[in-house]
Structure 1
Amino acid sequence: MLIADQLACGRHGKAVLDGVSLQLRPGEVLGVLGANGAGKSTLLATLAGELPPVAGTLTLNGQALAQQSAQTQARCRAVLPQSPSLAFELGVRAVAATGAYPFPELSPRELDALLDHTLQLADAQALTQRRYTALSGGEQQRVQFARVLTQALAGRAPGEYRALLLDEPTASLDPRHQLLLLQTVAQLAHEHQLAVLVILHDVNLAAWWCDRLLLLAEGKVTALGAPPEVLTAEHLHAVYQIDATVLPHPRAPTRQLVCFG
């Protein structure tokens, strides 16, 4: 399991976020919310091992993350950055297949079956005859989602810990594909025991699809817990500096609907 204790995150040795303690649990979707500049992407990059912690401890499966090789980390967690870039003229299937690079033991038949599955989950199977660079931004995002799903599911033994770290994965997607992506993420977490951390800007999408929420503001954790505990008018004002009304969702009264302004 990925565990942070009193973690301070920053860039170039300067902390932008302090005092973060969390467990990225299997079978759960943890949503991260906060205003621009709150440190959400910096937190994700630190949890992914791309940035060293400024302070605190960060462990993966009981061992300090910094002591684990990139290969070991890549076999345990997959990362979808905020703006993935690729300038090579690769086909869509080849891009999705890069997620299997940490798993050279996969046979060609196993890889083909896995790609068929992950491209379907990402609704990208109709794009496989095209070059990645010729796709729209939203289409590229769906292919990148297939790539991280490939990495998260490749060669996974029953009960083996795998984590998905997703930085604003819905940003360039239309409403249908936003819902499809988050539905897929929740299904994989709940039915296949993946651990998921997802950064979102849409509070209502987070309220509907996430099991727990982490609110960040002014370099600190404002709230961490189940959506009904976290999504209060007081917490939302502290994070976004705007009034909010929290109502029972008309389609599911046990869930929250947030109206700003």
Structure 2
Amino acid sequence: MLSAHQLGCRRGARQILFGIDLELRAGEVLGVLGANGAGKTTLLATLAGELPVSSGRLELGGRALSGWEPPALARRRAVLPQSPSLGFDLSVRDVVAMGAYPFPELTPAAHEALLREALQQADATGLAERRYPGLSGGEQQRVQFARVLAQVLGARAAGEYRVLLLDEPTSSLDPRHQLLLLRTVQALARAQGIAALVVLHDVNLAAQWCDRLLLLARGRTVAQGMPAEVLTPQSLEQVYDMPVQVLPHPLHTRAPLVVFSAGT
């Protein structure tokens, strides 16, 4: 399990995260919510091992994350950053195949099957023969999602804990593909025991598709727990600094419906 206890992180002289406690449990989706500048991306980058811990503990499988060698870590966790960049004129298949790099033991047939599955899960099969730079922003996001899916799916034969870290994966997607992506993350967590952390801005999408939520404000935890427990007017107004109503959802009994107001 990937877990943090009283986690702190600095960027230069500035303290960004303060005393964060969380566990990314196998088979569960944790959504991270907060206003701009709350520390969501810093938290994800720290959990991924891309930023050093300044205080507290961050462990994977009972070992400090900093003690993991990069090849071993790549077999256990996959990261989709907020703005993936790619400066080479590669095919979509080549981009998705990057996710399989940590698994050189795959046979050609298994490698091909992995790429097909990742593309299908990301609804990107129809893009496979195109060049990546020629895709729209939303199409590129689906291809990058397929890449990280190939990485977490490639490790399933080992039966080990795997974690998927996604930073605003729905930001450039149309409503249909937003739902498809989050449904895929939830389904894979359930079926394959993958732990997932998803940074989102849409509170209602998070409430619908995440098992637990973490609300951040100024680098600190405001609330953490089930959506109905976390999404209260008091907590949401503290995080977003605007009036809010929390109503029963007309379609999803487990998740509330959050309605923000600009006030008067």
TM-score (norm 2): 0.97
Structure 1: which 4+ aligned runs deviate by more than 3 Å? none
- Asked whether the 8 Å contact 2:57–2:64 carries over to 1, the reply is yes
Which sits farther off after the overlay, 22-31 or 250-259? 250-259
**1:252 Cα deviation after fit:** 2.1
**1:200 Cα deviation after fit:** 0.1
Q: Deviations over 1:8-51 (max 9, x none)?
A: 02212532110101100000000000000000000000000000
Counterpart of 2:188 in structure 1 is: 188
Counterpart of 1:41 in structure 2 is: 41
CA distance in 2, matches of 1:80, 1:18: 24
Counterpart of 1:127 in structure 2 is: 127
**1:83 Cα deviation after fit:** 0.1
Amino acid at match of 2:241: Q
RMSD: 0.9
Amino acid at match of 2:186: A
CA distance in 1, matches of 2:5, 2:225: 16
Superposition map of 1:201-216 within 5 A = 201-216=201-216
Aligned length: 261
- Asked whether the 8 Å contact 1:214–1:221 carries over to 2, the reply is yes
Superposition map of 1:40-119 within 5 A = 40-119=40-119
Q: Deviations over 1:236-261 (max 9, x none)?
A: 00000011111111012332100001
CA distance in 2, matches of 1:158, 1:249: 40
Counterpart of 1:197 in structure 2 is: 197
CA distance in 1, matches of 2:227, 2:80: 24
Q: Deviations over 1:34-85 (max 9, x none)?
A: 0000000000000000000111100001110001111111110000000000
- Asked whether the 8 Å contact 2:75–2:155 carries over to 1, the reply is no
Q: Secondary structure in 1 aligned to 2:161?
A: coil
Superposition map of 1:219-230 within 5 A = 219-230=219-230
- Asked whether the 8 Å contact 2:79–2:165 carries over to 1, the reply is yes
Superposition map of 1:153-192 within 5 A = 153-157=153-157, 159-192=159-192
CA distance in 1, matches of 2:254, 2:246: 12
For structure 2, which runs of at least 5 residues remain unmatched after alignment?
A: none
- Asked whether the 8 Å contact 2:17–2:39 carries over to 1, the reply is yes
- Asked whether the 8 Å contact 1:2–1:59 carries over to 2, the reply is yes
- Asked whether the 8 Å contact 1:106–1:155 carries over to 2, the reply is no
- Asked whether the 8 Å contact 1:122–1:146 carries over to 2, the reply is yes
Counterpart of 1:151 in structure 2 is: 151
Q: Secondary structure in 1 aligned to 2:123?
A: coil
Q: Secondary structure in 1 aligned to 2:110?
A: helix
Counterpart of 2:26 in structure 1 is: 26
Q: Secondary structure in 2 aligned to 1:254?
A: coil
CA distance in 2, matches of 1:81, 1:90: 19
Q: Secondary structure in 2 aligned to 1:38?
A: coil
Q: Percent identity, please.
A: 64
Counterpart of 1:7 in structure 2 is: 7
Amino acid at match of 2:3: I
TM-score (norm 1): 0.98
Counterpart of 1:244 in structure 2 is: 244
Q: Deviations over 1:111-145 (max 9, x none)?
A: 10011111000010000111000000000000000
Q: Secondary structure in 1 aligned to 2:253?
A: strand
